Chain A
Amino acid sequence: MNPPMSMQNETSPSVEPVIRCDSVYKIFGDNAGSMLKKSHGIVDAAKFQEAGCIVGVNNASFDIHAGELLIIMGLSGSGKSTLLRCISRLTDATAGKIFIEGEDILTMNNKQLIELRRNKMGMVFQNFALLPHKTVLENIAFPLQVKGVSTQESVNRAKEMVDLVSLTGRENYFPRQLSGGQQQRVGIARSLVIEPDIWFLDEPFSALDPLIRKEMQDEFLRLQSVLHKTILFVTHDFDEALRLADRIAIMKDGIIEQLDTPANIVLNPATEYVRKFTEEVPREKVLKIESVMDEFDPTESMSDLKVQKDAIIETVAEVILNSSKPVTVIDELGHTVGVINASKIVHVLFGSHSNQKSEKLS
């Protein structure tokens, strides 16, 4: 059985992670601190509940690297929003260390935190949290004004942001005159106006209709391709997580069940809980060729076709399935990295999805 938590560092370990969580606990209750000390790190939710405490986050340790989009996914009560609020220090963690760019924020005083928030962090909220008495432009310019930037300059910067989120023409509207999607665009613009290095998003699209949600997700991916921020994104929607994330952390009852790339989570669910989520996922939409390809065998005769290793299976499935011979898999530079044949595609798409069976057949 895989251990409940598997971590994979995608980049070289010598580069400092932007955010590092080290054994973070968050327990709600009057005697939370003392209960935690007594238990020496082993937290049993049932025992804590009897003592009148609620476990929010249970021993979370992970890193987030520069430019990475980490999604924390879980159902209500899993602790995902609590973890986000611990990292942004909207609530104080009960125990553990949280390092942002190398500094432990739990030891920072109020002034340092304010400096951090004014320069390095931006946050988007589920229910938009716009100031109702200010126009779109004023809302976006608000963090700059709080910092002390002159009105003229903050308005100019805000106008750039308005163009970035495609709200040109509505600068002087009030939030009550905008739709949900438009309001969230304002929220996004506001969070980006100080050019933060770290971007927090707390279920930003959950309050929107499904069609608008898809639009906003596309918009979000476009922004990230331009801005390359380090992002911590919280959602309860597994499909959203699969679509957007570089890595996903699945949480249940405060514990991170699995922290891995979407492809690995789908292929190798670490626990029964994770497996339940991945059962219904259409694999061809999520997995890339490189996750399912086989070793390159120079003796086999290959077809002339080549597919990129980074291609999503769905986009090249037809080509591979129509080819009688195995297809070469190449990387960006054109080097051969593996082969893929039709039967493998058929198995991945339509075969049964337990780990043991896939080992037997391939």
Chain B
Amino acid sequence: MIRLFMQRKYLQFILLLVVFILLNQWIAPSETSFLWRLPPLIQAFPLFINDSISYLMFEWWPIEIYDPEIEEFEQKPLVSQFTRGISSIILFLIEFIRELMLGGVKTIVTFSSWDWATANPWARWPGLPWTVVAGGAAILGYSLGGRSLAILAGFSTSYIAVFGQWEPSMQTLSFVLVAAPVSVALGLTFGVWGFRNKRVEAVLNPLLNMAQIVPHFSYLIPVMVFFGIGDHAGAIATVIFATPPMVRLTLLGLKKLPPEVAESGVMSGCNNWQLLTKVLIPTARRDILIGVNQVIMQCLAMVVLASLIGAKGLGIDLLIALNRLRIGVAIEIGVCIVLIAIVLDRLSLAWANKQTDYFADLTFTQRNKYPLMFGAVFVIGIIFAYIGKFIFPEGFNYLYLVPHGKGISTAQFWQDGVDWIWDTFFYSLKGFNEWLIIEVLMPVKASYLAMPVAATFALAMGVGLIVGGIRTALTVGGFLLFIALTEWWDRALITAYLMSVSVIISGFTGIVIGTLCAQHPVSTRFILTYCDTFQTFPSFIYLIPVMMLFGVTDTSVLIAIVVYATIPALRYTVEGLLSVPEPLQDAGTMSGVSRLQRWLSIELPMSFPHIALGINQTVVFALSMVIIGAMIGTDDLGQLILGSLSDRNGVGDGLILGICVACIGLAIDQILRTWANQRKQALGLN
């Protein structure tokens, strides 16, 4: 009897459910009972963090610094000098690129003073005209990916210029152009180090997992404390974010190398450095360049968040537009960001997939055709800009630079459209909104909050126990314990409710639509392209349409999350179904299965591990969106994190809150990953 029970997992689940319901019934809300809520033992932790950080920044290890302005030695703490140093370097690089793009005085004059430049107008170096940059982008696209990429790059750049978003776009771009290479260099270094040294890799792996799940918000506060506010702070926060995927992909790429390649390098007499630079990294080129692609995408995804700590550019514009509910402007800015994202994504992917070509036999013009083309474009663009000076003598030189806000704008069109939708569908939208909130969301939220902590733990650890044994149960319990011991357990429950409802909807939608689309190659290709495209969009883009339709409510957040989080569910379902081995499909056909039987008994079980990983990703996406949704206005952990951003003493709070969110994600990740691995082993898919 006991043995039957141990073998049938669903019986165990039923027992767990019964225990859970009973616990819910028996334990009543009470201030003192530990079974209802655990005491907030870690309450003092945020304060401790605050104190340690301020000590580190403002008091620890003073060193003598010569201050040229007052011409005296001063005592300054080491850490703050160090961080200020890094800040200045990064700021310098960003400004340098900006001047190149946007023009201005400082390019030549960086090393001399303002006065000299004003006195000598010939020393001013204007930025590149937009025509030159657009042409350059088109040439770059052509060299990497042929005509279609050239058209995409050229068109996007022109769009940005013509619609008057040039200045903020170039500001954003310069920011990406500094953050990305730094992340790539750091990522490569750590990736190689982890590859060489097993112990370093063992340390890196959990850090990388955490980095994937801790919300971006939480990094902003410590960065602000250590580095101040401004473009450099945004860049540094972006670097912290973008480095983990680079490390991961470098490690992956190096590990995928067939051992013979390394051996042949060794037997050719390479020392360690030669082996790394001439053999390993060039052969792992594709995965490393995909890492670069991921870095660029992360940088763009951080655009709005970086603007919260002072980065200039499209991010801050978008934030302001959203705050003022100027949806039309927000749409235009959103399109710019998306275009930049798509162009950079396609360019870097084309670079990753490009095969080296042999060219030593070609003539001079053939070998250098791209630089020559760019030279031609450069000259033509400058000539146009010069001519423009005469065509537009009094106003703005449109062939040189379309100033911010003076370009063609369709904002009014979108705004009118939004207003029309609002007027026409107001009642049905409002009705739907109210129904959803009153009949679905509020009850679920209330039931989550009515769970005694003992019941929550029992459920979570029980699932862990059934799926993976005692180790999984304890890990999950550990993660939950951390949250329970802070004072924010209830808020965490609200985050959990939002996230679970959206994951259920996204997961279900993704699996159903994915299954339907996987039936036919045309729809498969379409849905995968859809996923690729929508995944390039930074996640906050989704807030724009929903806020427009549903205002500041839980519904907006829910729908935004669902749209965003469905993407991995879709993709992994399609990929999983397509990767069922051919021989199995043939065996099924020869046994005479119907379509439904095939789906239920062959395709679903075989693709289950992959789909489970997809649901894992869905959870991660949903969690990250929950925090962004806080910008609309919810009352969960995200809201608190947002609040702590503006609080000078919010460092400790922000960090701990971030770890709480991460713990939710890590607990679910643990369960899903263990389950998927088990099924994979059982199916022999390793």
Interfacial residues, chain A to chain B (CB-CB below 8 A):
88, 90, 110, 114, 117-119, 121-123, 125-133, 135, 142-143, 146-147, 172-174, 176, 187, 190-191, 194, 200
Contact = CB atoms under 8 A, between A and B. Distances in A.
B260 interface: yes
23 contacts: A90-B263, A114-B269, A117-B266, A123-B264, A123-B267, A125-B260, A125-B264, A127-B258, A129-B261, A129-B264, A131-B261, A131-B282, A131-B283, A132-B283, A133-B283, A133-B285, A142-B268, A146-B268, A146-B274, A174-B356, A190-B264, A194-B269, A200-B267
A130 B266 CA distance: 13
Interface of B: 258, 260-261, 263-264, 266-271, 274, 278-279, 282-283, 285, 355-356, 358, 360-361
Listed residue (B258, B269, B274, B361) with the most chain A CB atoms within 10 angstroms of its CB:
B269
A348 B268 CA distance: 46
A320 B355 CA distance: 61
A132 B357 CA distance: 11
A72 to B, nearest CB: 17
A143 B269 contact: yes
Contacts of A172: 358, 360-361
Contacts of B278: 131, 142, 146
A335 B270 CA distance: 52
A123 B278 CA distance: 18
A117 B268 contact: yes
Contacts, number: 68
B355 A174 contact: yes
Contacts of A200: 267
A174 B269 contact: no
A20 B263 CA distance: 22
Contacts of B260: 125-129
B464 to A, nearest CB: 30
Given A117-B269, A129-B264, A130-B264, 16 more contacts: A90-B266, A90-B267, A118-B268, A119-B269, A123-B267, A128-B260, A131-B261, A131-B282, A133-B285, A133-B356, A142-B278, A146-B268, A172-B358, A174-B355, A176-B355, A194-B269
Contacts of A187: 264
Contact of A131 (B263, B269, B279, B360): B279
A133 B282 contact: yes
A127 B269 CA distance: 19
A146 B269 contact: yes
B358 A129 contact: no
A117 to B, nearest CB: 4
Nearest to B268: A143
Contacts of A143: 268-269
B625 to A, nearest CB: 40
A181 B219 CA distance: 55
A284 B269 CA distance: 43
A18 to B, nearest CB: 17
A122 B267 contact: yes
A118 to B, nearest CB: 3
B354 to A, nearest CB: 11
Contacts of A118: 268-269
Given A123-B267, A131-B279, A174 B258 contact: no
A129 B269 contact: no
A174 B283 CA distance: 13
Nearest to B260: A129
A187 B263 CA distance: 13
Nearest to A136: B358
A297 B274 CA distance: 67
B276 to A, nearest CB: 13
B355 A146 contact: no
Contacts of B269: 114, 117-119, 143, 146-147, 194
Contacts of A126: 260
Contact of A129 (B263, B271, B285, B356): B263
A190 B265 CA distance: 11
Contacts of B264: 123, 125, 129-130, 187, 190
A282 B83 CA distance: 79
A147 B266 CA distance: 12
